[in-house]
Structure 1
């Protein structure tokens, strides 16, 4: 668990969840097998740590705060324990001046040892720097993390739709909101991500726009604050420089 400042914000690995009104059930929908084939389970020797997503044949994007003795990624299936899923070694980790989540730059590129192959493995295009997001625009987020506050991470990928929240509203909830972030889901909607899968993508109009970063403490019911994502649009040039040169840049 990570605790940050007086707000006591939990920023451990995160995932999506949805609260069904009038019930104690909190979970998302299983992702169809032919969807989100860019999703990656980022792992240590102990197992699943964070979500991530494949953007080039040998590069995965995840959150910088997921740097917890990472060793490999698993992709090629919505159940990361499936024997047919591919396990590939991580050989380099690239961060963008990251110090802590509330200081921003919660983004990390993972260089993997080989290019994964398979009909069920695809890359996702990144948002362009000038891509416009509108308030209440419908997007989606997915992950393998908890489906309830005190539950465990799951093996099968789940997903949920969330809507974009304007920055003015978000800053009222998060007065120290870092630059280059997007707020979506959580606030007054009863749906969003939960502890278990940080690093997964916020997908809008078929492009990766954000990276799951943080929410409030261990609350997966989101009664009062938006979920916060790193805004990929602010890092497109940095990402392209690294993926083209195949090496980390300071």
Structure 2
């Protein structure tokens, strides 16, 4: 199983469940090329403007050993919602780029070292895979390029067949190169029963989304990014992990926001 972010750490990183992190060669003002046989980023999607997903942000997370790339979503002028696994490993500084479709340019950039992950987060199973990043000063939300996304009420169900829009930056195919332009893809949610055929460890804090034929999915580099209900515009999920990327009959796994809604409210005030 692969968590869906990558790092430019000079060595390989694996957790106790052999969940590998992508090793990449990083250029400060260029693209990142994958050195792994795992797929990266949005697969089967298309380029979108930040105005289509103004809640989307890019996170560059510096720890003592590596720099990781994740997605996140604006839920208030001071708080970004992301995945807990993006914030594991001794974070030193987080750089947030908001309001731009370009991963390297435009928008506004904020830095912070303030973050929190769910106390019950399990790095072996990815249960409770949710975290928040708090900016040192309020972000500018203009309602066009930057806007807070709505979250579901506690206990809101995620029916199978719900179309979600997933967005982020990263490779567009296995062994591919990252796209500097923001990408997005629509995928339907999958029933818990069907998803457990692939992921026996699935909990009520998770749901799955993907197409039977494969070819459309989130992947490494998208971790922490939003999965938004296409019809309501409400963010119902957070990109978490998956068994490969865009494989036929193998959906991606997302943190179910409604199941950890109280924790978000208590810690983010939203």
- d(CA) in 2 for partners of 1:232 and 1:2? 27
Secondary structure, aligned partner of 2:81:
strand
Question: Which residue of the other structure, out of 41, 49, 54, is the alignment partner of 1:32?
Answer: 49
CA contact under 8 A between 2:50 and 2:182: conserved in structure 1?
A: no
Name which of structure 1's ranges 207-216 and 124-133 shifts more when overlaid on structure 2: 124-133
CA contact under 8 A between 2:83 and 2:238: conserved in structure 1?
A: yes
Secondary structure, aligned partner of 1:173:
coil
CA contact under 8 A between 1:14 and 1:212: conserved in structure 2?
A: no
Match status 1:62 vs 2:79: no
Secondary structure, aligned partner of 1:195:
coil
Poorly superposed stretches of 4+, deviation over 6 Å: none
Per-residue deviation at 1:17? 0.9
Question: Which residue of the other structure, out of 176, 185, 204, is the alignment partner of 1:151?
Answer: 176
Per-residue deviation at 1:236? 1.1
- d(CA) in 2 for partners of 1:236 and 1:103? 17
Question: Which residue of the other structure, out of 131, 134, 137, is the alignment partner of 2:159?
Answer: 134
Q: How does 1:85-164 map to 2 (within 5 A)?
A: 85-97=107-119, 98-119=121-142, 120-164=145-189
CA contact under 8 A between 2:196 and 2:202: conserved in structure 1?
A: yes
Match status 1:181 vs 2:206: yes
Report what 1:44 is aligned to: 61
- d(CA) in 2 for partners of 1:170 and 1:15? 21
The TM-score, its normalising length taken from structure 2, stands at 0.78
- d(CA) in 1 for partners of 2:131 and 2:40? 15
- d(CA) in 2 for partners of 1:15 and 1:104? 21
Deviations 1:20-50 (A, max 9, x none): xxxxxxxx21113421011010113576610
Aligned residue pairs: how many?
232
Question: Which residue of the other structure, out of 203, 206, 229, is the alignment partner of 2:254?
Answer: 229
Report what 1:15 is aligned to: 41
Deviations 1:98-156 (A, max 9, x none): 23051401110001111111532100011112433221121110010110111233221
CA contact under 8 A between 1:41 and 1:48: conserved in structure 2?
A: no
CA contact under 8 A between 1:62 and 1:211: conserved in structure 2?
A: yes
Cα RMSD for the two superposed structures: 2.4
CA contact under 8 A between 1:14 and 1:143: conserved in structure 2?
A: no
CA contact under 8 A between 1:39 and 1:54: conserved in structure 2?
A: yes
CA contact under 8 A between 2:155 and 2:259: conserved in structure 1?
A: no
> Where do 5+ consecutive residues of structure 1 fail to align?
19-27, 246-250
- d(CA) in 1 for partners of 2:236 and 2:124? 18
Identify if the C-alpha distance between structure 1 residues 132 and 176 changes in structure 2 by more than 3 Å, giving closer, same or farther.
Answer: closer
Report what 2:237 is aligned to: 210
Per-residue deviation at 1:222? 1.3
> Where do 5+ consecutive residues of structure 2 fail to align?
1-11, 23-38
CA contact under 8 A between 1:209 and 1:233: conserved in structure 2?
A: yes
- d(CA) in 2 for partners of 1:185 and 1:9? 20
Name which of structure 1's ranges 232-241 and 156-165 shifts more when overlaid on structure 2: 232-241
